[in-house]
């Protein structure tokens, strides 16, 4: 199979070693005579997988007792409803910072359960920057943030101080950098960008923020139910959890968050240096808020789009078309993407400029 340079925004590239091991597990898992796709989630073999995956998440975050890790289904979008179901108290509005499509969807869901105060937003400039300098209400039930915005290419490089519980959607940049995770009381992330295959959502929650709403909840939306069931209140997404465990082991084996942050920084610098240097491209968002996970850029000569598209496709590049809300291009630089792939894309951009910078017609 010819391996492409996969810049997809998600489901995204996975480490080759993880794919190989997951493939073997899909054929036969732990010398059991069965595939991981067939084994019981109540059996010892899979319970060990779940426990190791949960433990690795807490290890990377530096959390001990008092925090619980869950692997759930439903994607991060289900968390848009689960968070307010578990945390939004009557008479205490939730505070949300709106930095893009996914934050907007989270706000919409929360409003169905109670009062929501959008305390800051970058919608006025099409989400091309991250709001700063806002005050967090002391009487809020919680503060909700989205750390990285895949569609618009912005990322929070610092986080506000808060006297209320802080919830963060880290779907597209979890474990891409070192962080003080103790700033957060609840973190959730879809697995399919940095930590595994589509199907699983990791949730890490500080237990003492739960049980304060007085609200009756559906069992499937209740964090306490899933904690008691050790992520197995119902059948979990077995294969996705297995791939998450393998990916987290890969990350730990290679040096953890310090190791991957250094690589991600180099990838982002390589990408943005070329966007800023090349006269045929321009970035889409404020430079100080640029995402190290999703580099978004536009052609300065849109009439050359078909020509550029052919060049990057011929180079074995996949997945850089921008989201329809922004247009242009988006290079997703997730953990498993090698620096080599970024250099291939940059070389194509340089060659494109060399050939067509002076072009006045469609080539």
| Neighbouring-strand partners of residue 293 | none
Q: Does the annotation count 102 as an active-site position?
A: yes
User: 3-class SS at 209?
Assistant: helix
Q: Is 193 a catalytic residue?
A: yes
Quick one: which of 119, 18, 4, 3 has its CA closest to 336?
A: 18
Structure letter (DSSP) for residue 323: P
Does the active-site annotation cover 183? no
What is the rounded CA–CA span in Å between residue 191 and residue 75? Answer: 8
Catalytic residue among 169, 173, 222, 289: 169
Catalytic residue among 92, 173, 193, 292: 193
Please give the Cα distance from 26 to 186 (Å, whole number).
32
N- to C-terminal Cα separation, the chain: 32
Let me know the angle formed at the C-alpha of 256 by 255 and 259, rounded to the nearest 5 degrees.
Answer: 60
Catalytic residue among 102, 250, 289, 301: 102
Helices (H), the chain: 16-27, 44-61, 75-87, 101-111, 223-228, 238-254, 256-277, 305-314, 339-356
Task: Provide the CB-side half-sphere exposure for 126 (13 A, CA).
Answer: 10
Separation of alpha carbons 148 and 180, rounded Å: 16
Residues serving a catalytic function are 102, 169, 193
């Amino acid at each position: 199979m010819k391996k492409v340079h996969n810049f997809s925004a998600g489901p995204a590239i996975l480490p080759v070693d993880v794919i190989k091991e997951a493939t073997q597990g899909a054929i036969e898992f732990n010398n059991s005579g069965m595939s991981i796709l067939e084994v019981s989630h109540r059996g010892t073999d899979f319970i060990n997988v779940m426990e190791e995956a949960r433990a690795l998440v807490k290890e990377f975050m530096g959390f001990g007792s008092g925090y619980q890790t869950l692997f759930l289904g439903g994607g991060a979008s289900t968390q848009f409803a689960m968070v307010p179901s578990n945390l939004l108290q009557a008479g205490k509005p939730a505070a949300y910072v709106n930095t893009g499509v996914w934050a907007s969807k989270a706000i919409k869901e929360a409003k169905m359960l109670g009062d929501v105060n959008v305390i800051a937003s970058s919608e006025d400039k099409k989400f091309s920057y991250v709001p700063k300098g806002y005050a967090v209400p002391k009487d809020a039930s919680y503060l909700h943030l989205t750390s990285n915005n895949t569609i618009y290419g912005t990322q929070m490089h610092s986080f506000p101080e808060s006297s209320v519980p802080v919830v963060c959607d880290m779907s597209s940049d979890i474990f891409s950098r070192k962080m003080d995770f103790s700033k957060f009381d609840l973190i959730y992330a879809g697995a399919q960008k940095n930590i595994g295959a589509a199907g699983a959502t990791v949730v890490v929650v500080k237990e003492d923020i739960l049980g304060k709403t007085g609200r009756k909840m559906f069992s499937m939306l209740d964090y306490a139910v899933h904690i008691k069931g050790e992520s197995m209140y119902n059948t979990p997404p077995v294969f996705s959890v297995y791939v998450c465990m393998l990916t987290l082991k890969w990350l730990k084996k290679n040096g953890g968050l310090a190791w991957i942050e250094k690589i991600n920084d180099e990838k982002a610098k390589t990408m943005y240096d070329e966007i800023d240097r090349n006269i045929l491209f321009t970035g889409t968002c404020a430079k100080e808020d640029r995402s190290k996970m999703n580099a978004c850029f536009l052609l300065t000569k849109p009439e050359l789009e078909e020509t550029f598209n052919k060049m990057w496709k011929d180079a074995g590049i996949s997945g850089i078309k921008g989201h329809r809300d922004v247009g242009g291009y988006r290079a997703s630089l997730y953990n498993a993407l090698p620096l080599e792939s970024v250099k291939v894309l940059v070389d194509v951009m340089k060659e494109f400029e060399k050939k067509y910078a002076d072009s006045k017609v469609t080539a």
